[in-house]
């Protein structure tokens, strides 16, 4: 009986491993020398998060929305080894690059990206023409402090 349990556990681990390997690249984190490639850089406070891809998937599963047509012979695959895309709404505390605006909406998701909590503060880097962004949150500690200092930001309060 023990041998069967061990084999079952080993089989389960083998099935999980391919998904885990898909995210080996880790989260993209901008460095100060990379800031020139972004069209917008803003210091923000999160006021809302909408799990857009999760919501779409659940509506398809429930039959409320149709499944997308296969593209190139590939059926729709819900991301299991990375975070599905989600939209963040935020107050803009400061615009470092791009047009000044009091609020911002941007899309995050991908490998190792966790949805922020309400009131999280951070710096967002928006990729030109896509609306997709990379964020560094104050709760990330040292990397945020280094980036904030290099961008000339005053660091106040705790995450």
pLDDT along the chain (159 residues), means of 10: 43 40 57 85 95 91 89 72 86 94 91 89 90 87 86 66
Tokens of 117: 């909590």
Q: Do strands 121-126 and 40-50 pair parallel, antiparallel, or not at all (unpaired)?
A: antiparallel
Question: Whose structure tokens read 């560094």?
Answer: 136
**pLDDT value of residue 6:** 40
Question: Whose structure tokens read 């083998």?
Answer: 14
Other Cβ atoms within 10 Å of 42 Cβ, number: 26
Q: What is the pTM of this model?
A: 0.72
Tokens of 159: 């995450």
25-150: CATH architecture: Beta Barrel (2.40)
Other Cβ atoms within 10 Å of 11 Cβ, number: 10
What does the alpha-carbon distance between residue 36 and residue 144 come to, in Å, rounded to a whole number?
18
Q: Does residue 15 contact residue 63 with C-beta atoms inside 8 Å?
A: no
């Amino acid at each position: 009986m023990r041998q069967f349990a061990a084999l079952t556990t080993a089989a389960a681990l083998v099935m999980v491993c391919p998904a885990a390997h898909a995210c080996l690249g880790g989260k993209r984190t901008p460095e100060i020398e990379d800031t020139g490639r972004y069209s917008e850089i803003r210091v923000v406070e999160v006021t809302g998060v909408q799990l857009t891809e999760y919501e779409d998937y659940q509506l398809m599963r429930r039959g409320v929305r149709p499944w997308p047509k296969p593209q190139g012979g590939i059926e729709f695959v819900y991301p299991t080894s990375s975070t599905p895309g989600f939209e963040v709404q935020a107050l803009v505390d400061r615009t470092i690059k791009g047009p000044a605006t009091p609020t911002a909406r941007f899309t995050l998701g991908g490998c190792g990206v966790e949805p922020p909590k309400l009131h999280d503060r951070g710096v967002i880097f928006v990729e030109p023409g896509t609306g997709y962004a990379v964020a560094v949150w104050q709760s990330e500690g040292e990397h945020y402090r280094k980036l904030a200092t290099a961008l000339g930001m005053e660091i106040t309060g705790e995450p």
